[in-house]
Each structure stands twice: as structure tokens, then as C-alpha cells.
């Protein structure tokens, strides 16, 4: 239930050491509602860089604050849950806790 009521807007987070691209990608991930997923391409398009899906993937892989910027909600275009730093099982469990039924 924590994930369904809390947002990154509730915290003061300094990510100024990241590039503008990285900041934008993480902020876009933070706008994905709990229990839902979006693709790397969706994030790239949201930040005005529709051809940068792979770069978005690299940002998510190096996410310094994964519980503030929920990179577990970002999946590949087929919906697969691979490539999560803490393992695919953890990614699936986090999504399940949020109510995702993919």
C-alpha cells in the first residue's frame, strides 16, 4: 500500500549530479502509476528523445534511488521484466505488490 499512496513529489531529492537526460528519464519513470508499466520507448518519447530507448535502459540500470524513481515499472517493448539490478524476481514482486497483473 505504501507504493500506492506515496510519490516522489513527497520527497526532496537532489539529483543534480545526473545529466539532464538522466534526470528527465527518472522523472518520467516517477510518473508511471503504481501497478502499471511502460516501455523504455515510452519513457524516451515522454522526454522528447523517441529514439533513445536504449539510453533510457542504461539510465534505469544505474538508477541511484530505485524506490523514489521506480525503474521496476519500466519494461521492454514486449512487456518482459528482464534487466533489473535486483533481479527479475524482485521486479515481478514489486509490481505484484503494487497490483500489476501483467
CA distance 33 to 29: 9
The residue from 28, 71, 74, 75 that is catalytic is: 71
Q: Does domain 2-97 have CATH number 1.10.10.10?
A: yes
34 has catalytic annotation: no
* CA-based nearest residue to 48, from 24, 76, 30, 31: 24
User: Which pLDDT score is estimated for 102?
Assistant: 79
* DSSP H or E segment with residue 17: none
Domain range list for the chain: 2-97
pTM of the model: 0.86
Q: Which residue has the cell 528482464?
A: 82
pLDDT averaged over 10-residue windows placed end to end, the chain, 102 residues: 52 86 96 96 98 97 91 93 88 94 82
CA distance 36 to 34: 5
User: Which pLDDT score is estimated for 1?
Assistant: 44
User: Which pLDDT score is estimated for 98?
Assistant: 94
Amino acid at each position: 500500500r505504501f507504493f500506492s499512496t506515496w510519490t516522489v513529489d513527497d520527497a526532496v531529492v537532489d539529483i543534480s549530479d545526473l545529466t539532464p537526460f538522466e534526470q528527465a528519464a527518472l522523472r518520467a519513470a516517477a510518473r508511471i502509476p503504481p501497478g502499471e508499466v511502460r516501455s523504455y520507448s515510452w519513457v524516451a518519447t515522454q522526454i522528447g528523445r523517441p529514439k533513445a530507448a536504449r539510453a533510457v535502459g542504461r539510465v534505469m540500470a544505474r538508477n541511484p534511488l530505485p524506490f523514489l524513481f521506480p525503474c521496476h515499472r519500466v519494461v521492454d517493448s514486449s512487456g518482459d521484466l528482464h534487466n533489473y539490478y535486483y533481479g527479475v524476481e524482485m521486479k515481478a514482486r514489486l509490481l505484484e505488490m503494487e497490483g500489476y497483473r501483467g
